[in-house]
């Protein structure tokens, strides 16, 4: 066989192999257009990226034309996430089916047609000034989305002031709280708070300040930006910590104590996030400084071996002057003995065995969300020892689908709000009654796609704690359901998954921001309520 014939045969085999490859063809890929979400006009110079969501990692890209068109052909078949980037617009990721624009599924021999949109950024700008009206440098200014406490998005919406106190933040349109924090000096780490002054004045550090000059978010003014707009002239006046103090002495500190400290918690309108603590000296004396003028609850705690000792809770009010001479005496913690009682139902089998219940006491005032638990024995009896003084909410698990805590009886008297108030050294008895005739609420959520949304339910109460908030994920069929509801009035709404709460203040602020898009529902014992909800735009947006 001639050499020329062998070359022709080899070339033919290569062509057959290439055309039969399933990896790429000239018809496999994606084409589409990117438009302005507000005007519908095509967007030029948008960087369109498609990247695989699993191994092997592949990354394709293109720039849109003057008519907003793009084409990425050929491509390897697979599932791709999409990222859109353009100056002046909100960077956009499309990674899952929960988005209105789904990820790209590229199949062999087909060109996927996409129509994508981008939203124009809002520009927030202004200055940060001290109490004398002078510009402040090195202040971190954050935009906190209204109705979405503790979201990771906050870290991306940050700017640091320059030598003229100026800041500028580009952000998605919406409603925000503007927060300023001054925590450091350049090159010197945290701001030192213990300087000594010879003129009789005391140093008070700057504290987190909400626009325009508020110590707390509930007293702040929200700022709103529309798509493509500029919000200028925002001026934040930094606030300082208080200069008041509380001093006193703690008695009863055991020998060999590992540590002893006093703790202060604001109440009656104070921000429970602003808790203070200070060490107690070996001679029992303590001093807590830089306090704001507000009422506090004060108590001492000491750790000795495996046991904690607690003092009584004292209310102090440093408003016009310092509080001196506070006396706190340490002693054993509170003790609780109790029983879980099941309310029998007519249809219940008398031979049915009891559940093994776990009873939890969750702090509300002095130690919010801190909980202790005990397992009830076959008779339903349980006990707690060495509890610190606080108001506790009572939880019982596991409960049947429609069961709830019907009542809590403390020392023979029914608790009006289902909580238990304990003082140091107190002994208390509890009777927790479980009813299987709880109410329920269910319905649909319109305009919600996938499980990235949750329906939340909270009792209507001024003294609400995060443990009382209940969630249910919106199902693929856009439905939700709550069972085992105690009779009462509730507020119900829809949120995305970014909402979380470190304190009761976070929860109250979240509900305050979201109130316009919520509903109030009253549920009677055993009642089944159907309530359909509508998901609008993100909390804080029109």
Give the domain CATH number at 389. 2.60.40.10
Does a structural domain hold residue 478? yes
- pTM comes to 0.62
Written as six digits, the tokens of 3 are 């050499």
484 and 411 together in one domain: no
pLDDT at 439: 95
Question: Which among 435, 453, 482 is the end of a domain?
Answer: 435
Calculate the alpha carbon distances from 275 to 240, 281, 308, 378 in Å.
Answer: 16, 20, 20, 40
Classify residue 397: in a domain, yes or no: yes
Give the C-alpha separation, 300 to 286, whole Å.
10
User: Is 512 a member of any domain?
Assistant: yes
Rounded distance, CA 421 to CA 429, Å? 12
Average pLDDT over residues 152-169: 82
Which CATH number does the domain housing residue 258 bear?
A: 2.60.40.1120
Are 69 and 177 within one domain?
Answer: no
| The two three-digit tokens of residue 325, written as one number | 């001479």
Q: Which residues pair with 472 in a beta bridge?
A: 455
Q: In terms of domains, do 308 and 404 share one? A: no
The predicted structure's pLDDT at residue 497: 62
Give a yes or no: residue 470 inside a domain.
yes
Provide the token pair at 276. Answer: 């203070």
Same structural domain for residues 112 and 127? no
- Tell me, yes or no, whether 540 lies in a domain: no
DSSP letter at 42 equals B
What does the block give as tokens for 292? 């704001």
Residues 114 and 135 in one domain: no
List pLDDT tens digits, range 176-205. 999 999 865 444 444 445 567 777 666 777
Q: Is residue 273 part of a domain?
A: yes
pLDDT in tens, 117-134: 999 999 999 999 998 999
Q: Note whether 374 and 449 are same-domain residues.
A: no
Single residue among 435, 453, 485 that ends a domain in this structure: 435
Same domain, 84 and 36: yes
pLDDT of residue 407: 93
Judgement on whether residues 421 and 462 belong to the same structural domain of the protein: no
- Same-domain status, 236 and 192: yes
Q: Which of 200, 225, 240 is the last residue of a domain?
A: 240
Distance CA(302)–CA(519), nearest Å, equals 46
Does residue 83 lie in a domain region? yes
Residue 130 lies inside a defined structural domain of this protein: yes
Whether 180 and 230 map to the same domain: the answer is yes
Number of domains composing the chain: 5
Per-residue model confidence as pLDDT tens digits over 227-272: 999 999 999 999 887 778 899 999 999 998 999 999 988 875 445 5
Q: Does residue 281 share a domain with residue 194?
A: no
Range of the domain at 222: 122-240
Pair 60, 167 in one domain:
no
């Amino acid at each position: 066989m001639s050499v020329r014939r062998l070359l022709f045969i080899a070339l033919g085999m290569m062509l057959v192999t290439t055309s039969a490859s399933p990896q790429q063809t000239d018809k496999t890929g994606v084409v589409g257009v990117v438009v302005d979400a507000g005007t519908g006009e095509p967007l030029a110079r948008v960087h369109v990226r498609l990247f695989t969501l699993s191994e092997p990692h592949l990354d394709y890209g293109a720039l849109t034309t003057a008519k907003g068109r793009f084409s990425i052909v050929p491509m390897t078949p697979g599932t791709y996430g999409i990222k859109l980037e353009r100056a002046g617009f909100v960077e956009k990721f499309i990674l899952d089916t929960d988005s209105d624009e789904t990820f790209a599924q590229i199949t062999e021999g087909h060109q996927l047609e996409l129509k994508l949109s981008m939203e124009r950024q809002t520009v927030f700008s202004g200055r940060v000034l001290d109490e004398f009206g002078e510009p402040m440098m090195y202040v971190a200014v954050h935009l906190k989305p209204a109705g979405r406490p503790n979201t990771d998005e906050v870290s991306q919406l940050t700017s640091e002031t320059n030598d003229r106190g100026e800041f500028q933040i580009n952000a998605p349109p919406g409603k925000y709280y503007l927060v300023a924090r001054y925590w450091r000096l350049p090159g010197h780490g945290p701001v030192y708070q213990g300087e000594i002054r010879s003129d009789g004045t005391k140093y008070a550090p700057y504290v987190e300040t909400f626009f325009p000059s508020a110590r707390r978010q509930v007293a702040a003014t929200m700022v709103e930006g529309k798509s493509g707009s500029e919000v200028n002239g925002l001026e934040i006046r930094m606030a300082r910590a208080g200069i008041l103090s509380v001093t006193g002495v703690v008695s009863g500190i055991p020998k060999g104590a590992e540590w002893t400290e006093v703790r202060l918690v604001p109440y009656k309108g104070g921000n429970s996030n602003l808790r203070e603590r200070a060490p107690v000296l070996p001679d029992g004396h303590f001093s807590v400084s830089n306090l704001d003028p507000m009422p506090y609850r004060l108590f001492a705690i000491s750790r000795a071996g495996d046991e904690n000792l607690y003092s009584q809770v004292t209310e102090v009010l440093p408003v016009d002057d310092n509080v001196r001479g506070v006396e706190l005496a340490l002693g054993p913690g509170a003790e609780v003995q109790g029983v879980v009682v099941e309310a029998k139902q007519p249809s219940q089998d008398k031979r049915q065995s009891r559940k093994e219940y776990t009873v939890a006491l969750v702090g509300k005032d002095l130690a919010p969300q801190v909980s202790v638990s005990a397992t009830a024995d076959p008779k339903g009896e349980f006990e707690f020892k060495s509890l610190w003084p606080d108001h506790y909410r009572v939880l019982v698990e596991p409960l049947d689908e429609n069961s709830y805590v019907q009542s809590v009886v403390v020392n023979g008297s029914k608790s009006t709000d289902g909580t238990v108030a304990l003082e140091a050294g107190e002994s208390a008895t509890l009777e927790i009654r479980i009813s299987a005739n709880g109410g329920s609420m269910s319905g649909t959520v319109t305009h919600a796609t996938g499980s990235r949304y949750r329906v939340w339910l909270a009792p209507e109460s001024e003294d609400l704690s995060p443990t009382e908030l209940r969630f249910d994920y919106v199902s693929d069929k856009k439905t939700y359901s709550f069972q085992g509801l105690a009779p009462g009035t509730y507020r119900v709404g829809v949120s995305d998954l970014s909402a979380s709460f470190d304190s009761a203040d976070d929860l109250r602020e979240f509900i305050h921001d979201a109130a316009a898009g919520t509903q109030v529902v009253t549920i009677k014992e055993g009642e089944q309520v159907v309530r359909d909800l509508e998901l609008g735009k993100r909390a804080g947006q029109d």
